[in-house]
Amino acid sequence: MDYFVEKNSIVREIWGKSDTILLVFAGASAEFALSVAVDWLYFTGKIPNDPLGRLFSTVAYARDIVFSEKEKAHQAIDRINQIHGAVEEKRGEDIPNWAYQDVLFMLIDYSIRAYEILERPLKIKECNEVFEVFLEVGKRMNIKDLPQTYEQFKKVRNKHLNTNYYNGDFTKDLYKQYRKHLGIVRYNLLIETQIMLTPKSINQLLNKRQTTLIKPLISIYKLSRTIYFDSFLKAMVLPNEYQAQIKSMNTVTQ
């Protein structure tokens, strides 16, 4: 059977664990808020009105791609294109190509960062693997001018981080929505996770510390997984109505 991502790929390991996926979207939530194209999120209203629901729907699409046969993965990517196309038609303009690039770059970068925080440093071969999988996603989405190697990606990613982000009114409002939907305790945990995970330039734009208070707790969390206490800890991270979705993120590589 021809899968979009090979069975033994590091990408399946990364996207088959709920804790790494939650870190990926913790990082992405910071960049979404800072993006110069954040007004597109407010045009649809989906993220500011239901940031957690939007997170899980995005996870569902990503996992459909990572764990599906190639044909079904292509269908999932095509559905994403159709959704974006409908939004563009309704607004009467196109989402900028660089904005599509930035979202793709987030998935590459935070997949690597999240795994390395919770597991181990990735080998360069594995980083290339992550890049190549999402490069194929980008090609299927018809995103133009994509870097063709992991080394090129790192340079373009760094350039975008210094040009495509700013802290504006939408940023402040979106963080208010995060706090409203998460509650003060979970919101503060999100902030600390973002400080630990996001690039220095993103932390600076958000006026955050460069050192997180929860980094020393990572070793304790890793230990909790060996005694199956991590499910309780993850239950503390998100509201009860999302516990089933969190559990379903844990996939045995097949």
Q: What is the rounded distance in angstroms from the CA atom of residue 46 to the CA atom of residue 42?
A: 7
Q: What is the rounded distance in angstroms from the CA atom of residue 80 to the CA atom of residue 78?
A: 5
Residue 224 banded pLDDT, cuts 50, 70, 90: low
Residue 253: what pLDDT? 44
Point out the least confidently predicted range of 131-140, 144-153, 161-170, 233-242.
Answer: 233-242
CB neighbour list of residue 146: distance below 8 Å, 6 or more residues apart: 101, 104, 135, 138, 139
Mean pLDDT of 9-30: 92
Point out the least confidently predicted range of 82-96, 177-191, 193-207, 240-254.
Answer: 240-254
Q: What is the rounded distance in angstroms from the CA atom of residue 246 to the CA atom of residue 24?
A: 14
Mean pLDDT of 225-252: 64
Residue 6 banded pLDDT, cuts 50, 70, 90: very high
Mean pLDDT of 160-182: 94
Mean pLDDT of 64-73: 94
Residue 252: what pLDDT? 52
Residue 151 banded pLDDT, cuts 50, 70, 90: very high
Domain residue spans of the chain = 10-96+165-248
Residue 206 banded pLDDT, cuts 50, 70, 90: very high
Count of H helices and E strands in the chain?
15, 0
Q: What is the mean pLDDT of the chain?
A: 89
Question: Is residue 66 pLDDT above 60, yes or no?
Answer: yes
Do 57 and 63 meet the contact criterion of CB atoms below 8 Å apart?
no
Residue 236: what pLDDT? 56
Q: What is the rounded distance in angstroms from the CA atom of residue 78 to the CA atom of residue 34?
A: 27
Q: What is the rounded distance in angstroms from the CA atom of residue 161 to the CA atom of residue 167?
A: 13
Question: Is residue 165 pLDDT above 80, yes or no?
Answer: yes
Point out the least confidently predicted range of 103-107, 121-125, 155-159, 189-193.
Answer: 189-193
One-letter-per-residue 3-state SS of 147-199: CCCHHHHHHHHHHHHCCCECCCHHHHHHHHHHHHHHCHHHHHHHHHHHHHHCC
Per cent of the chain over pLDDT 70 is 91
Question: Is residue 254 pLDDT above 60, yes or no?
Answer: no
Question: Is residue 118 pLDDT above 60, yes or no?
Answer: yes
Mean pLDDT of 144-168: 97
Residue 46 banded pLDDT, cuts 50, 70, 90: confident
